Amino acid sequence: MAILINRNTRLITIGITGKQGTFHTLQSRDYGTNVVGGVTPGKGGTVHEGIPVFNTTFEAVKETEANAAMIFVPPSAAADAIIECIDSEIPLIICITEGIPAGDMIKVKAALKGSKSRLIGPNCPGVITPGECKIGIMPGHIHMPGNVGVISRSGTLTYEAVYQLTQREIGQSTCVGIGGDPVNGTNFIDCLEMFQNDPDTKAVIMIGEIGGTAETEAARWIKANMTKPVVSFIAGAAAPKGKRMGHAGAIISGEDDSAEAKFKILQECGITVARSPAELGQKVSEVLKK
Amino acid sequence: MNVHEYQAKDLMRQFNIAVLKGGVANTPAEAVAVAKKLGGNVWVVKAQIHAGGRGKGGGVKLARSLEEVEKLSGEIIGMQLVTHQTGPEGKKVLKVLIEEGCDIDHEYYCGIVLDRTVGKIAMMVSTEGGMEIEKVAHETPEKIIKCHIDPATGLTPAHGRKLGYALGLKGDTLKKAMAFFEGLYKLYVEKDCSIAEINPLVTTKQGDVLALDGKLNFDDNALFRHPAIEAMRDITEESAQELEAGKYGLSYISLDGNIGCLVNGAGLAMATLDILKLHGGSPANFLDVGGGATKETVQKAFTIILQDKNVKAILVNIFGGIMKCDIIANGVVDAAKELGVSVPLIVRLEGTNVALGKKILAESGLKITPANDLADAAQKAVIASKGGK
């Protein structure tokens, strides 16, 4: 058991014939992911690296019964690719693309509401259930199957956390990169709820960043709903305050979104805080022994 | 990306948003010419820099004659303007905006921003215009009235009424305010803004609704579809090093410490600064080489880090996922040799082909201090930055 993806996942890659799309599709397939097809408009009917290519996502889903899509489409066309996946009723859409205009994502967010799809990302490393299925750009070999769920807004910092766990022979149930963009498909709370309901997850690592209120909202949700231990780190305590033109970004929430403020709320909500990113593995090992 | 007030107001005019008549000037003589063309007997001379708080810093002055326009423009152009947003060194003023005067009746605040908690655009107004709005939000949040706008409906008259009545407006003034909000929303969406802020938005004794100031900030990710806005970029407002780094796909921010940092990934780069501080060190920069770093980008990264004369040690922290450690190690060795890096170099590599990467570093003949993990790397970098071994 795990969350989001497992042995039964049937993946298609949108933008499969591009350089990145090809490379990471093959890496995922080598890891054991069942890649059933790909989409590149104009290349339908061809076979790429042994994988059938379709002109539209709709056609690909109909022919392959795919239940997950991984998007490697340039930022100017990525929102359109996500909307095509929503329209094709794919249950899980994972968008790796970095640099999608926020205005496009606002429309995507509206299209997701009431749809049959869940979006992970954009601007994320993807999702991996170690030993079963990898969808994304993370290095598969640093992971090991186990019982710790990982949720993060960052890429390489997630690898760092996973690596610390694996070094201690603490495996992971599923690792989810929710992405660093201001508007994304799935937030911390969505993932926490899935991990809370997953019998194979015993503890969760949540890696946040300065800015926004996602971590503080998650902290309050954990306090009210979660029985499993959560370990958390917030990156950016030493980051300089940006030279901002306006104040509108900070006043919208009315809340302090510095690392200090977030650490404080996390602690108040009973979450185990790692002040140093080098302590994540050790802190998880401690909560698992309790 | 930021633009100047005069550029923001030019854009606002294109969307029929009411602003005062004005023109930009590079010299006192040009300023007088603009004032003459505007007519009237009162003008406002406003310093054009990318920072708020210009009035308090002495960058906004009222002129009651053409001689005064010339004199004040001469004082403001070339001055080093210090505001709460510029840092203590201030910013050099190169241009002024000359505007006609107006009879202000009341000052309000109006702003549009993306509310990331709900993934929608929010428009906000407040009766507390002209003030530091962050303070208002913190001390009296009830004085900020918000509307979340669904992308399917856009801003509707109902939103406009909610905001306008909240400001206590009525009659013709209310109608003008509603048109103002509609124009600003349209500008925000069509031009892919990330912030549109009017502080103050004013009503005049004649019953007009005007933007006295205007700040627009644009989503960098959307600039590809707005070449006209990209063309407004003022590179004198941006750090030369940050611009140079950007050309190579590097994300660089200069800081005031002495440990140069070269990291892959923004999250890990931030975490590296955090751990250096936790160990009592002081980072000289944030530098994310990105996911696709090559030998050339690593070399460029070193060049930029070494331009900072405060750097006493360099910490390289790379988690090689898809990017293999041996490739990074070769890049580091080549860059260090070609650039003649003389400060202590601490390298922490992890991930794919790490053993090979470490071997390349060890056999390079360079004085590289290898680190075993994140904490070890931070400790060694901090000691080296303080002159220890």
User: Which DSSP string do the residues of B285-315 spell out, in sequence order?
Assistant: EEEE--TT--HHHHHHHHHHHHT-TT--EEE
Q: Which residue of B has its CA nearest to A157?
A: B268
**Contact of A250 with B134, CB cutoff 8 Å:** yes
CB contact under 8 A, A251 and B133: yes
CB contact under 8 A, B221 and A102: yes
Average pLDDT (A145-171) is 95
CB contact under 8 A, A251 and B115: no
- Residues of chain B numbered 48-67 and touching chain A (CB < 8 Å): 50-52
CB contact under 8 A, A247 and B133: yes
Q: What is the CATH number of domain B21-101?
A: 3.30.1490.20
**pLDDT band for position A251 (50/70/90)?**
low
Q: Measured in whole angstroms, how far is the alpha carbon of residue B300 from the centre of its chain?
A: 23
What separation in angstroms does the CA of B300 have from each of A98, A107, B178, B246, B306?
Answer: 22, 38, 51, 11, 10
Residues carrying CATH 3.40.50.261, chain B = 240-385
User: Which DSSP string do the residues of A11-64 spell out, in sequence order?
Assistant: EEEETTTSHHHHHHHHHHHHHT-EEEEEE-TT-TT-EETTEEEESSHHHHHHHH
CB contact under 8 A, A251 and B134: yes
> What is the H or E stretch that residue B357 is in?
helix B354-362
Strand partners, B89: none
Residues carrying CATH 3.30.470.20, chain B = 1-19+104-238
How far is the C-alpha of B389 from the C-alpha of B379, rounded, in Å? 11
- For residue A248, pLDDT beyond 60: no
Q: Which residue of B has its CA nearest to A210?
A: B270
Smallest Cβ–Cβ distance between B222 and the set A101, A180, A213 belongs to A101
- For residue A242, pLDDT beyond 60: no
Helix (H, G, I), strand (E, B) or coil at B178: helix
Whether the link from the prior residue into B200 is cis, omega within 30° of 0, is yes
**Contact of B251 with B307, CB cutoff 8 Å:** no
Average pLDDT (A5-13) is 97
Tell me the domains of chain A and their CATH numbers: 10-120 (3.40.50.720), 126-289 (3.40.50.261)
Distance from CA of B275 to the nearest CA of A (A): 6
- Can you give the pTM of this predicted structure? 0.92
Q: Which residues of B touch A183 (CB under 8 A)?
A: 114, 116, 119
Q: What is the CATH number of domain B240-385?
A: 3.40.50.261
Length, in residues, of chain A: 290
Q: At A109, phi and psi to the nearest 5?
A: -60, -40
Distance from CA of B37 to the nearest CA of A (A): 30
CB contact under 8 A, B116 and A156: no
Smallest Cβ–Cβ distance between B322 and the set A137, A247, A249 belongs to A137
**CB of B121 within 8 Å of any CB in chain A?**
yes
pLDDT of residue A243: 38
**CB of B138 within 8 Å of any CB in chain A?**
yes
Average pLDDT (A52-80) is 97
Distance from CA of A196 to the nearest CA of B (A): 22
- B69-118 pLDDT tens trace: 999 999 999 999 998 878 788 899 999 999 999 999 999 999 999 988 88
How far is the C-alpha of A264 from the C-alpha of A232, rounded, in Å? 11
Q: Which residues of chain B have pLDDT under 70?
A: 291-292, 321-322, 389
Fold type of domain B1-19+104-238: D-amino Acid Aminotransferase; Chain A, domain 1 (3.30.470)
What separation in angstroms does the CA of A136 have from each of A3, A72, A139, B44?
Answer: 15, 10, 9, 56
> What is the H or E stretch that residue B68 is in?
helix B66-76
Long-range pairs for B143-149 at CB < 8 Å and ≥24 separation? Answer: B144/A251, B144/A254, B144/B109, B146/A252, B146/B115, B146/B122, B147/B122, B147/B123, B148/B115, B148/B118, B148/B120, B148/B121, B148/B122, B149/B120, B149/B121, B149/B122, B149/B123, B149/B185
Q: Measured in whole angstroms, how far is the alpha carbon of residue A204 from the centre of its chain?
A: 14
Whether the link from the prior residue into A122 is cis, omega within 30° of 0, is yes
CB contact under 8 A, A254 and B141: yes
Smallest Cβ–Cβ distance between A239 and the set B116, B120, B270 belongs to B270
Q: Which residues of A touch B192 (CB under 8 A)?
A: 101-103
pLDDT of residue A244: 40
Taking CB atoms and an 8 Å cut-off, how many pairs form between chains A and B? 199
CB contact under 8 A, B270 and A209: yes
Between A210 and A65, the higher pLDDT residue: A65
CB contact under 8 A, A141 and B117: no
Helices (H), A126-258: 156-167, 188-197, 214-225, 248-251
Average pLDDT (A80-93) is 98
Smallest Cβ–Cβ distance between A110 and the set B111, B151, B215 belongs to B151
How far is the C-alpha of A130 from the C-alpha of A31, rounded, in Å? 9
Tokens 């093959």 found at:
A26
**pLDDT band for position A183 (50/70/90)?**
very high
Distance from CA of A119 to the nearest CA of B (A): 14
Q: What interface predicted TM-score (ipTM) does this complex get?
A: 0.90
- For residue A245, pLDDT beyond 60: no
pLDDT of residue B327: 82
Q: Which residues of A touch B85 (CB under 8 A)?
A: 243-245
- For residue A237, pLDDT beyond 90: no
Q: Which residue of A has its CA nearest to B217?
A: A245
Distance from CA of A266 to the nearest CA of B (A): 18
Strand partners, A39: A14, A54
Q: Which residues of A touch B143 (CB under 8 A)?
A: none
Considering Cα of B373, then B376, then B379, then B381, what sign does the dihedral take? negative
Residue A264's nearest CA partner among A285, A237, A229 is A237
CB contact under 8 A, A233 and B192: no
How far is the C-alpha of A88 from the C-alpha of A54, rounded, in Å? 13
Between A211 and A19, the higher pLDDT residue: A19
Average pLDDT (A182-205) is 96
CB contact under 8 A, A247 and B350: no
Distance from CA of A23 to the nearest CA of B (A): 10
Length, in residues, of chain B: 389
Residues carrying CATH 3.30.1490.20, chain B = 21-101
